[in-house]
Amino acid sequence: AVPNFSIERPGVGKIEWEGAVDVRGIDLDQVVVIEPKSASVYTKEEEENRKPPVGTKLNRSAIITLEGVYAPEATFESQEKFSKKVERQTKKMGAQLIDYDATSGVWKLKVQHFSRYALDDEDDDSS
């Protein structure tokens, strides 16, 4: 098991798993996907009912940091509205919001297990 295991895509995001993680036999390039405004682990495995049980392998608690998550406009009102959207989306996904900084565009959240965590442009913008 690897303590403090993390995977980062510079300028896009990072996943930091808590505790020691058993990474034996995991094709990290296939299993972990970090894209703009999105991080997912075991997406294909979940579709095929092959995802490891919660608490094992990479399907465990982690801190996700996503960069470049900005409001559509740099106005104060737009940033306020967008911050609320980020907060709502975080709760809707069953994650815990650690921090969102509208100025730096950094969204940090804690998850207990993995599926896909993202802020999609199609998500409802209403308050």
Is residue 17 within 8 A of residue 62, CB to CB? The reply is yes
38 is a catalytic site residue:
no
User: 119: helix, coil or strand?
Assistant: coil
Handedness of CA 126, 116, 11, 88 (dihedral sign): positive
Residue 1 CB partners (closer than 8 Å, separation 6+): 20, 21, 22, 23
Exactly one of 61, 115, 126, 127 is catalytic; which is it?
Answer: 115
- Among all residues, which ones are annotated catalytic? 115
